[in-house]
Amino acid sequence: MLIDAHVHLPTGNTVITFQEKKEFLLAGMKKNGVDQCILIADSWPVSEIGSNKDCMSLFPAGNCDGVHVVGGISPLKDFDRQLEVIRFGIEKKALVGIKLFTGHEAFYLTDERLDIVYDLALQTGTPVLFHSGWDNRQYSDVPVAEKIAKKYPELRLVCCHCWYPMIGLAQRLFDYPNVFFDFSSVADEPEKYEKIAEEAELIIRTVPDRVLYGSDAFGCSMEQHLSFFRNLDLPEEISRKFFAENAKRIYLVPDGEQDPEIT
């Protein structure tokens, strides 16, 4: 079983319609042996990577082709309306998470306008994902994320990109069992591979139940990420958690339900 816990619909000139984007994603999954993926929608109501509504209608609950949607939301755009869409999506089991694009967008993880989002996530047992690292790191840097992890100990908080290229910073949040690390996009720059591989291996081995394989396709390459992470020296049991079981537990098995397949 292989789950890519972080993908988006493709952009560009060859895939224009959402139907074409859907087919491109499914073909990419098949080619790379990806059984299921977590598809992250944009927080904007009109977007090339698909809005919440676009993604939910392409991959509806119960008939989703192994593609599970995370909804995006932003305090900077149509907030109330998007919140209702997300609430509805979670109720219908069409959404498995909520993404905050901190850094892509100029708001902090601690922005008070997000309290209602965290409350919704807590009430429904839905994980909250946030963009980290790359440019404009300050909006979701370690101390900011720590505040939220501390304020909401029951909230499952997924740090996307693990503050790349400073992925070693993850160690500072090892003491917060509600924080998870998504390694999407960290295998994007071959000149940094050696250092990243060393740090990634340390994190994965130290907190093996809190790490998620992801590619950030199609901004990044599925092939490149798979080969990078398969080259790490990981014990079989940890590898299974990283490549599938953790994602399944965090996103796909609702709170309180036992997953018979995870033993």
Binding site for Zn ion (CB under 5 A): 216
Pick between residue 4 and residue 216 the one whose CB is nearest to Zn ion. 216
The CA distance from 33 to 234, in Å, is: 19
Rounded to a whole number of angstroms, the minimum distance from the CB of residue 250 to Zn ion is 16
- Give least dist CB 237 to Zn ion, A: 28
Considering the complex, state which of residue 49 and residue 203 has its C-beta at the smaller distance from Zn ion.
49
Name which of 225 and 234 has its Cβ closer to Zn ion.
225
Residue nearest to Zn ion (CB): 216
3-state secondary structure of 68: strand
All residues at 6 or more sequence positions from 102 whose CB lies less than 8 Å from its CB, including other chains: 108, 109, 130, 131, 132, 139, 140
* CB-based contact 109:144 (threshold 8 Å): yes
Distance CA 39, CA 83 (A): 18
Minimum CB–partner distance for residue 11 and Zn ion (Å): 12
CB nearer to Zn ion: pick between 199 and 216: 216
Of 101 and 234, CB closest to Zn ion? 101
The Cα-based distances of 117 to 124, 129, 144, 174, 239 in angstroms read: 11, 11, 16, 24, 32
Q: How far apart are CA 49 and CA 72, in angstroms?
A: 11
CB of 123 to Zn ion, least distance (A): 26
- Residue 79: CA count within 13 A, CB half-sphere: 11
CB of 41 to Zn ion, least distance (A): 11
